[in-house]
Each structure stands twice: as structure tokens, then as C-alpha cells.
């Protein structure tokens, strides 16, 4: 633990830490780091891990209703990948000293956050397509930036996650193109899904820079190389032309490219609504948590069996013994 109050050499160590980050070096779990850096990373990685696990639910609900066997197989694999990402990320957060059980408990009790996009319902099959294309697309934009950040285990986990997300993006795009080229009913269903998901997607990158409280410290210490608004612009630049090419309409009358300032202009979402949703008041917030709690209870016997046979202890010891550089996560 190191803070100005507890460590007389704090300023000196901080200067060296910041010089390392300025040189583009990565920080490993055993390296010196300020308490606030550790706290911020745990908050962020924990929230990201929660998002992967809760994020499996909207698409997971559609597995029994996939229109073909091929789509069902791809969807099962994607959902399984997302839960795997959650595990990699909890592991990355554990390297900072917070036990996984505590993080899971905080998610289930509603104490820690998860991405607000998953507090929205997936009403039709077209929602599944839009999530896999545009939410995963947004996640790739975000994660490609964060993977160049300063904390090595998080960056290593993100690299593996991005690799899998790239497949999800292709799977989503394939579904979207099928619907866009299908019957009028399919095209209408796709447009309706885009209409409902557009605002959550814009919100996905977080509040505007003027309202973002963590960006300054995360930027200073190289955790978040680009701000929320910068990430949103990269997303718009990449995806708006593709959406329009498919013949879809983006439900924002103010959306236009401002050539002079080289940026997309858009209607600001309702940020009061955003802050209300992330406090647990989204349309599906309570149901998502209830489903997670049920799954956690139903898996209790597996955890208890692993403890009783000693396998859980062996796994914990192996994780502790692994050299920090091999911690993918």
C-alpha cells in the first residue's frame, strides 16, 4: 500500500512510476503503484468483468429461439466466450489484490456496476444481431484503445478478448446483412432494433468528457489513452457509413459529419437517464441481477464440491504460484 500519508518516499516513487508510464513501460502486479492507481484499476476491470458476465444474458435468452442450427451454434459459442472474458478479467483484477469471491458478491448485491447497455431488453432476433455487430463493435473500439494502456495484466487479457470479439463482430455483421437483404418484415425488424439500441450504443462509451469524473486520473496514468468522447467519435467514424450502406436509417435527425472540425455531430443522449440507469434503474436492471443470483445459487453445489475435493484449493495455489508475467489475466 502506498499513499502520501503512509509512505515518506511517496513523491519520489510516484515520479519514477510516472516516468515509466511516460516511457511506455507496462506496470506488472508486483511493481510499485499508487493506491489510487490500484483502486481505479480494480473499479474499472471489475466493472468490465461484470459487464461480460451480465452481458451474456440478453443474447443467452435467445439461444432456444435461434432461427437455424448454424445460428444457434454460433450464438452458444459467443455467449460462452463472453463468460470466459469475464473470468479473464476477474483474474486480471485479482492481481491487484481483490479476491474474486468479493467481486462476484459485489456484482450480485448491486454494489458494483456493469455496462448500462445490458439493462435494456433484447426484444427480437434482430436485437441479437445488433448487439453482436454494434455493441461488440463498440467494445472492440474501446478495448483496442485500453489494450495500449499501462497495466500489463489488463492489456494481456484485452488482447485475447479482442481476438474473440472480432469473430463476434463478423457473426453480428453476417446476421445484420441477412436481415437487411431479407423480406420487408425482416428489414423492419432490423430497423426497429437499431432505433431502440441507438441511444444505449451512444451511451456505451460513458458520459461526455465534461461529466466524466475518472477520465483525468485514468489518462494521467495511461490506463485510458483516449477519453469517452474520443472513443465515441472513433466508433461513429467507423460504423455510421456501414449502417447507412445497409440502407438503414439512424434515428438521430442531428447526426451529421462536420467536415470543418472533422467530427460527427449528434444529439446528446439524456445523461440524467444514463446516471439513473447505472444506479440500477434500467428497464432490465433488476431482472438481470435476479437471473445472475439464481444462476449463482444453482452453481453452489459445484463450488462446494470443488472445495470438498480440494480441487478449488489446488487451483487457487496454482494461480498464486504462476509468475505475474504469465498472468494473462
Tell me how far, at minimum, the Cβ of 45 lies from ligand BYC, in Å: 8
| CB neighbour class for 259 (10 Å; exposed up to 12, middle 13-18, buried from 19) | exposed
Residue from 26, 38, 113, 171 binding ligand BYC (CB under 6 A): 113
10 Å Cβ neighbour count for 88? 23
Q: Which of these ranges, 18-26, 204-212, 240-248, 260-268, lies near ligand BYC under the rule CB under 6 A?
A: 204-212
Residue found under cell 481483490: 98
Does 218 participate in binding ligand BYC (rule CB under 6 A)?
yes
Site string for ligand BYC, 74-103 (x = CB under 6 A): --------x---------------------
Q: Cβ distance 117 to 200 under 8 Å?
A: yes
Does 56 participate in binding ligand BYC (rule CB under 6 A)?
yes
Residue 240 grid cell: 455510421
Total residues binding ligand BYC (CB under 6 A): 31
Does 116 participate in binding ligand BYC (rule CB under 6 A)?
yes
Chain center to CA of 97: 21
Residue from 198, 204, 235, 266 binding ligand BYC (CB under 6 A): 204
Q: Is 128 helix (H, G, I), strand (E, B) or coil?
A: helix
Please tell me the distance from the alpha carbon of residue 329 to that of residue 64, in angstroms, as a whole number: 32
Query: Degrees (nearest 5) of the Cα angle 145, 151, 155?
Result: 50
Site string for ligand BYC, 268-297 (x = CB under 6 A): ----------x-------------------
Q: Which of these ranges, 92-100, 132-140, 255-263, 287-295, lies near ligand BYC under the rule CB under 6 A?
A: 132-140
Amino acid at each position: 500500500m502506498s499513499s502520501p500519508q503512509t509512505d515518506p518516499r511517496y513523491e519520489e516513487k510516484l515520479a519514477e512510476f510516472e516516468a515509466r508510464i511516460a516511457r511506455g513501460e507496462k506496470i506488472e502486479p508486483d511493481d510499485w503503484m499508487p493506491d489510487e492507481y490500484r483502486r481505479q484499476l480494480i473499479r474499472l476491470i471489475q466493472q468490465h468483468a461484470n459487464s461480460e458476465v451480465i452481458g451474456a444474458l440478453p443474447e443467452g435468452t435467445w439461444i432456444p429461439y435461434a432461427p437455424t442450427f448454424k445460428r444457434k451454434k454460433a450464438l452458444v459459442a459467443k455467449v460462452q466466450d463472453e463468460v470466459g472474458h469475464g473470468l479473464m478479467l476477474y483474474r486480471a483484477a485479482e492481481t491487484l489484490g481483490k479476491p474474486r469471491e468479493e467481486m462476484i458478491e459485489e456484482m450480485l448485491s448491486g454494489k458494483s456496476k456493469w455496462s448500462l447497455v445490458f439493462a435494456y431488453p433484447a426484444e427480437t432476433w434482430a436485437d441479437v444481431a445488433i448487439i453482436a455487430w454494434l455493441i461488440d463493435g463498440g467494445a472492440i473500439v474501446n478495448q483496442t484503445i485500453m489494450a495500449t494502456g499501462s497495466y500489463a495484466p489488463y492489456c494481456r487479457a484485452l488482447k485475447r478478448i479482442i481476438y474473440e470479439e472480432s469473430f463476434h463482430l463478423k457473426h453480428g455483421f453476417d446476421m445484420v446483412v441477412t436481415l437487411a437483404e431479407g423480406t420487408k418484415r425482416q428489414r423492419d425488424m432490423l430497423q426497429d432494433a437499431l432505433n431502440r439500441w441507438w441511444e444505449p450504443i451512444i451511451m456505451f462509451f460513458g458520459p461526455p468528457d465534461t461529466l466524466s469524473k475518472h477520465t483525468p486520473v485514468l489518462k494521467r496514468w495511461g490506463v485510458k489513452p483516449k477519453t469517452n468522447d474520443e472513443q465515441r467519435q472513433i466508433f461513429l467514424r467507423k460504423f455510421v457509413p456501414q449502417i447507412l450502406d445497409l440502407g438503414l436509417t439512424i434515428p438521430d435527425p442531428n447526426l451529421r459529419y462536420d467536415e470543418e472540425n472533422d467530427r460527427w455531430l449528434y444529439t446528446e443522449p439524456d445523461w440524467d437517464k444514463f446516471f439513473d440507469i447505472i444506479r440500477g434503474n434500467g428497464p432490465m436492471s433488476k431482472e438481470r441481477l435476479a437471473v445472475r443470483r439464481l444462476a449463482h445459487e444453482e452453481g453452489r453445489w459445484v463450488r462446494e464440491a470443488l472445495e470438498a475435493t480440494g480441487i478449488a484449493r489446488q487451483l487457487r495455489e496454482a494461480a498464486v504460484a504462476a509468475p505475474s508475467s504469465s498472468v494473462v489475466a
